[in-house]
Chains A and B, each alone.
Chain A
Amino acid sequence: QVQLQESGPGLVKPSETLSLTCTVSGGSVSSGSYYWSWIRQPPGKGLEWIGYIYYSGSTNYNPSLKSRVTISVDTSKNQFSLKLISVTAADTALYYCARDFGASSWFDPWGQGTLVTVSS
């Protein structure tokens, strides 16, 4: 079955760029049936959808983060990635990647999540 695994630095300095990658196994990011999303969860708080990408490169971002977010896909590596610029302590969170059934909030499965702390 499809599995997703996040990877990237666990510590980022304020004002710098957060970069994470999600590696998909057991399935293909090139499948035209799915989108691929990033979701985050600050410690002890709720879930926030960041955005999604389609294999063609088409994206949709949460308006609250749109000015700072870029999601990209690398079909040759079966990966998709997240970049968040100008981070602050408010961006400290568990970051999850998930398979997305497209403009629905239907996420299944999810990766295990990776904690990113923004601190100097």
Chain B
Amino acid sequence: QSVLTQPPSASGTPGQRVTISCSGSSSNIGSNYVYWYQQLPGTAPKLLIYRNSQRPSGVPDRFSGSKSGTSASLAISGLRSEDEADYYCAAWDDSLSGRGVFGTGTKVTVL
């Protein structure tokens, strides 16, 4: 069902930099903004990045987003134990009558 493709897992030790990719197509990432959500265990998703690279108030600057063509990336620098969570990218897809689409999700583990 997921239209956007992410690696299932990523990991790093505390302090390291971890990058998560999100691959889409011309009808979604290629023509619309990308959003990133963090889902801590047992909780609802939380907005992490909006409009490709903007951070909502309260989100540490360790989190950064970028987009190029039909792909996007989320980087976590200075990895911390509390960053262990599932991360989802999302975008609007212009195909059919338009719909919201999410990535497959990436589980980040802090070793």
Contacts and interface: CB of A to CB of B under 8 A. Distances in A.
A96 B98 contact: no
A91 B42 CA distance: 19
Interface stretch (A7-15, A19-27, A78-86, A110-118): A110-118
- A60, A96, A104: residue with the most chain B Cβ atoms closer than 10 Å: A104
B56 A46 contact: no
B65 interface: no
Contacts of B90: 47, 105, 107
Interface string A47-63: 11100100000001011
B44 A111 contact: yes
Interface residues of A, number: 23
B19 interface: no
Contacts of B44: 96, 110-113
A112 B43 CA distance: 7
Interface bracket on B: 20 to 34
Interface stretch (B10-18, B74-82, B100-108): B100-108
B79 to A, nearest CB: 23
A92 interface: no
B68 interface: no
A96 B98 CA distance: 20
A105 B92 contact: yes
Contacts of A64: 1
Given A49-B100, A49-B101, A60-B98, A104 B45 contact: no
Q: Which 3 A-B pairs rank lowest in CB-CB distance, beginning with the nearest?
A: A49-B100, A105-B90, A108-B47
